[in-house]
Amino acid sequence: MSNSLLYSHLYEWYETNHRSLPWRETDDPYAIWLSEIILQQTRVLQGLEYWRRFMARWPNVESLAAADESEVLREWQGLGYYSRARNLHKAAIQIVESQKSKVERGEIATYHFPNTYEELRALPGVGEYTAGAIASFAYNLPYPAMDGNVYRVVARLRDIDEAFDTSAGKKLFHKQIESLLDCDHPRLFNSAIMEFGALYCTPSLGDNCAQCPLQMQCASYQHGTAEMLPVRKARPKIRDRWFTYHVYVSYQQSTVSDQPSDVFTLIRRRENPKDIWYHLYEFPCEETQSERLKVNGERIIDLTHVLSHQKIHARFIIHKEQQMPELPGTMVIRWDELNDYALSRLTLRALDTLRLTPRN
């Protein structure tokens, strides 16, 4: 079956309705890669702000490779899923290292971003979707870019009631998108179908189907099944965890009489690469099996923090001390230096709630 009618209706819709996003108006693969990594688990509006900040600070792959991992994590703070930031940095280093000798010998003028699907796929943090997105958006290569929005549109256009997040489902959807892909205009096709899923063929359809330009090409509309699609497998159970944080605070009088006293605290870096928040900083923490610790302190704040597969029941206890306790793996910093460290979203929430100032 020819897709030409589908393409013309889709492109016409896209022309009129697409959002103006800076990474869709460039073919710079570095800028596109950065946007794709940022947007993996992030809403466009929030992602846009981070993308601009990253582009201003590290405008190309060599500048990002030269940064410290801690600076990249600090800039990423608030976006969550920090493995994306670590992989971003690792990938930049990998690209630069692989071309360094050629640049130094003058064989190539500057570092270039990988330009084949296979090379893109070999970068840390780049899966099938991201490789397809960069290959098509930057180089106009005929690869599909299947994000969640595209899975939904394909499930509905082809009326597929198989779960898309199983290995059998992925294969089936991949075949379908290959048969839909416009190999003459892959950049336009991927941009248009992603945007159509994001803005029009959304999870809640409302009255959209009645006015839809793809109505005649949409099997689920013809069969009345659109609202039930796509199907996903049952979600894994959320794991509960109980963290008790000790916020040690020590005041030391300034040597200058009219100056406020300095406030110090203790932080540590999370060092388990298999656990959440690897290489982020936080207050010393005790994890318990079934409930938060009952410990006395000046103030106690309880927060619940939900991640994709974990629910953290956190307790923050303030201890005011004359002398900081000596705890292995921690370091003493001034309270106002907390801003210099990459902190988890939970720690930031606690800081917001604590509103700790030198006087309280």
Residue 215 within binding range of ligand SF4, rule CB under 6 A? yes
Measured from the CB of residue 13, what is the shortest distance to ligand SF4 in angstroms? 10
Kindly tell me which of 9 and 292 has the beta carbon lying closer to ligand SF4.
Answer: 9
Task: State the Cα–Cα distance between residues 292 and 243, nearest whole angstrom.
Answer: 6
Selected binder of ligand SF4 within 84, 86, 156, 319 (CB under 6 A)? 156
Q: How far is the CB of 147 from ligand SF4 (least distance, A)?
A: 16
Under the binding rule (CB under 6 A), the answer on residue 212 touching ligand SF4 is yes
Instruction: Kindly state the smallest distance separating residue 231's Cβ from ligand SF4, in Å.
Output: 14
- Interface with ligand SF4, residue 96, by CB under 6 A: no
**Which 8-state DSSP code applies to residue 345?**
H
Q: What's the length of the chain?
A: 360
- When asked if residue 133 is in the footprint of ligand SF4 (CB under 6 A), the reply is no
Which range in 47-55, 184-192, 209-217, 254-262 contacts ligand SF4 by CB under 6 A? Answer: 209-217
* Residue 226 interacts with ligand SF4 (CB under 6 A): yes or no: yes
**Catalytic hit among 36, 62, 195, 282:** 36
**C-alpha dihedral, 359 to 248 to 325 to 290, nearest 10°:** 160
| Binding flag, residue 221, ligand SF4 (CB under 6 A) | yes
Is 209 one of the binding residues for ligand SF4 (CB under 6 A)?
A: yes
Amino acid at the residue 360 = N
Residue 230: CA count within 13 A, CB half-sphere: 25
The CB-of-177 to ligand SF4 minimum distance in angstroms stands at 14
Residue type, 121: R
Instruction: Please choose, from the candidates 23, 48, 145, 30, the residue with its C-alpha nearest in 3D space to the C-alpha of residue 91.
Output: 30
Q: Is 36 a catalytic residue?
A: yes
Q: 195-230: buried (b, 16+ CB within 10 Å) or exposed (e) per residue?
A: bbbbebbeeeeeeebeebbbeebbebbeeeebeebb
Angle between helices 148-157 and 186-199 (to 10 degrees): 90
Cα–Cα distance between 235 and 31 in angstroms, integer? 33
Binding site for ligand SF4 (CB under 6 A): 156-157, 200-201, 205, 208-209, 212, 214-215, 218, 220-221, 226
| Residues annotated catalytic, as ranges | 36
